[in-house]
């Protein structure tokens, strides 16, 4: 089975590498690359504010050693300025190399998601179902189409999946470390795409289901059996702490500032 998993991951990596080199630039990739590089260069989050920074920062990290010509500073917040700036930025430099490097970096989210799907399925259902889940993921058309693009879709999917699984692990065996890990991954989901906020109702519904099923009520603690009321309070407190950790992490991506653009703009 490990050899089969390695083979499937290698196939996925080859598919992503093929997409990196063979797909032409999509509509919004240039804007994401331009914005991500601008975040690294000047911490100007007013560029492409409709998406949070995580994926754009990760995708453009390999560009820092290239030292491309600085992109022109957009005059306003409108989408048009971002796309115009992206065109000038990419095609005043080595556009093919920059696009390929950014896509390879963004593909990391797809590879991590594949490994997590196998791990989660293996821990819940065993080796056979886990292998089947990985096969379906590796050859899924939407993954093949979007897995290597500098867009936010696979980034938010990866982080939300990780956050939900982390919450499951916390509920089944509570610990401070698992709670903090869930909060951290939830924050990454928020920093990947604004629709990542949907992770909060997902976690809430999972907590409600946990209380309704009563699977943890009655568990022995040092102070006696845990009541349903205690379980409700525990999960409510956990959700609150997860939210605080996640929002703090999201804010950290913006440098703990209240304004998107640096003070001199």
What pLDDT does residue 70 have?
79
- What are the start-end ranges of the H helices in 148-195? 153-172, 176-192
The pLDDT value given to residue 83: 84
What pLDDT does residue 221 have? 52
Q: In the chain, what are the domain boundaries?
A: 1-151, 152-265
Q: pLDDT tens for residues 230-243?
A: 889 999 999 999 99
Confidence of residue 261 (pLDDT cuts 50, 70, 90): confident
Residues 146 and 153: beta-carbon distance below 8 Å: yes
Provide the mean pLDDT of the chain. Answer: 91
H/E stretch holding 84 reads helix 79-91
pLDDT of 169 higher than 90: yes
Predicted confidence (pLDDT) at residue 224 exceeds the cutoff of 60: no
117 versus 67: the higher-pLDDT residue is 117
Which tokens is 228 given? 């349903």
- Mean pLDDT to the nearest integer, 131-135: 97
pLDDT at position 35 is 93
Closest CA to 8 of 135, 164, 160, 147: 135
pLDDT at 216 over 60: no
pLDDT at 85: 86
Tokens representing residue 215 in the block? 């699977």
The pLDDT of residue 149: 97
Provide CB contacts within 8 A for 261, sequence distance 6+: 44, 45, 46
pLDDT score at 75: 60
> For tokens 């560009």, what's the residue?
63
For residue 265, name the pLDDT band (cuts at 50, 70, 90). low
How confident is the model over 131-141, as a mean pLDDT? 97
Q: What is the pLDDT of residue 235?
A: 95
Of residues 105 and 87, the one with the higher pLDDT is 105
Read off the pLDDT of residues 76-104 as tens digits, 9 standing for 90 and up: 555 667 888 888 899 999 999 999 999 99
51-55, 123-127, 255-259 — which is least confidently predicted?
A: 255-259
Pair of tokens at residue 218: 């009655």
d(CA 222, CA 189): 35
Tell me the average pLDDT across 243-261: 94
Give 46-71 pLDDT, tens digit per residue.
889 999 999 999 999 999 999 898 77
Q: Percent of the chain scored above 70 by pLDDT?
A: 91
Q: What span, in angstroms and rounded, lies between the C-alpha atoms of 79 and 92?
A: 20
For residue 228, pLDDT over 90 is answered with no
Q: By mean pLDDT, which of 169-173, 188-192, 206-210, 223-227 is the weakest?
A: 223-227
């Amino acid at each position: 089975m490990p050899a089969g998993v390695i083979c499937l991951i290698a196939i996925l990596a080859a598919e992503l590498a093929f997409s990196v080199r063979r797909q032409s630039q999509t509509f919004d990739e240039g804007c994401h690359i331009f914005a991500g590089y601008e975040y690294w260069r000047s911490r100007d989050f007013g560029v492409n504010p409709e998406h949070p920074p995580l994926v754009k920062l990760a995708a453009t990290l390999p560009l820092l050693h290239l030292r491309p010509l600085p992109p022109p500073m957009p005059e306003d917040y409108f989408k048009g300025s971002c796309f115009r700036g992206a065109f000038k930025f990419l095609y005043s430099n080595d556009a093919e190399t920059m696009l390929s490097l950014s896509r390879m970096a963004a593909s990391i989210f797809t590879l991590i998601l594949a490994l997590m799907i196998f791990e989660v399925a293996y821990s819940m259902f065993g080796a056979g179902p886990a292998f089947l889940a990985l096969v379906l993921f590796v050859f899924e058309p939407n993954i093949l189409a979007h897995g290597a693009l500098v867009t936010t879709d696979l980034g938010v999917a990866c982080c939300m999946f990780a956050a939900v699984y982390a919450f499951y692990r916390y509920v089944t065996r509570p610990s401070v470390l698992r709670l903090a890990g869930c909060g951290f991954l939830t924050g990454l989901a928020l920093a990947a795409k604004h629709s990542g906020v949907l992770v909060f109702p997902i976690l809430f519904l999972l907590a409600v289901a946990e209380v309704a099923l009563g699977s943890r009520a009655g568990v022995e603690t040092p102070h006696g059996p845990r009541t349903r009321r205690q379980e409700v309070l525990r999960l409510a407190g956990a959700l609150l702490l997860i939210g605080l950790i996640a929002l703090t992490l999201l804010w950290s991506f913006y440098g703990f500032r209240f304004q998107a653009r640096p003070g001199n703009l």
